[in-house]
Amino acid sequence: MSTEILIINGSPRKNKNCFKISEQISKTLTENNISNKIFNIYDMNIEYCTACGFCEKTGYCKFKDDMTPMYEMFDKAKGVIVISPVNFDSITAKLKTLVDRTQAIYASKYILKKPSIDRNKNRIGMYIAVGGSTPYETQFMGGQIVMDFFFKSVNNKLKYNIYLNSTDKLTYEENTEFKNILNENLNNYINDIKELD
């Protein structure tokens, strides 16, 4: 059976906030009999998009690397969950590299008009942004804009957007209020995923 939920951890740091949130989500999904896989993308070999135009002609990417199996996984999945640090009010560089590589899916749909992803399938997305600073107006704006576009590219309805701030002062594990918010949203997400069957 294909992996139901793809969990993408955009942080390079092991055992820090995004990593631990990813592990917690994976554990909860598994307890609910939902198959899942964590992608620690800083451990993966993902080439930068070079705008070569190959995908506009073929619908797939010319690079063969750790991104290659993900295209089919995005299609087969019931949902994608992305957890990323806020870097300069956006997502991390490696996550942006992954996002840019989904141009192959975008091009197959909108340029080639031969979709490499089933556009009629319902998939549900969740984005969790993690910032070190205390809250300020633009903290999550850049990342949110990019993620809105990414989830469209991989044909997920981005129903859940959750923000965690102030990790410089209080870690995810110490932040009871956030943990409750995450749990509540995750439970709703799990119900949504189960209803897709």
User: Which residues of this chain interact with ligand FMN, rule CB under 6 A?
Assistant: 11, 13, 16-18, 85-89, 130-133, 139, 167
Task: Closer to ligand FMN by CB, 14 or 62: give it.
Answer: 14
Residue 164 backbone dihedrals phi, psi, to 5 degrees: -120, 125
Task: Closer to ligand FMN by CB, 36 or 139: give it.
Answer: 139
Instruction: Give least dist CB 10 to ligand FMN, A.
Output: 8
How far is CA 85 from each of CA 40, 68, 123, 129, rounded to the nearest angstrom?
Answer: 13, 24, 24, 6
Instruction: Give least dist CB 90 to ligand FMN, A.
Output: 8
CA distance 18 to 178: 13
Task: Closer to ligand FMN by CB, 16 or 152: give it.
Answer: 16
How far is CA 157 from each of CA 40, 123, 126, 181, rounded to the nearest angstrom?
Answer: 23, 6, 9, 20
The label of the residue with tokens 């506009």 reads 56
If phi > 0 it is left, if psi is from -120 to 50 it is alpha, else beta; for residue 193 that is alpha
Buried b or exposed e, range 151-169, using 16+ CB within 10 angstroms? bbbbbbebebbbbbbebee
Instruction: Give least dist CB 88 to ligand FMN, A.
Output: 5
Task: Closer to ligand FMN by CB, 92 or 116: give it.
Answer: 92
Instruction: Give least dist CB 83 to ligand FMN, A.
Output: 8
Task: Closer to ligand FMN by CB, 115 or 132: give it.
Answer: 132
CA distance 15 to 165: 17
Instruction: Give least dist CB 179 to ligand FMN, A.
Output: 15
Instruction: Please compute, for residue 101, the number of CA atoms within 13 A of its CA located in the half-sphere on the CB side.
Output: 23
Instruction: Give least dist CB 142 to ligand FMN, A.
Output: 8
Task: Closer to ligand FMN by CB, 52 or 141: give it.
Answer: 141
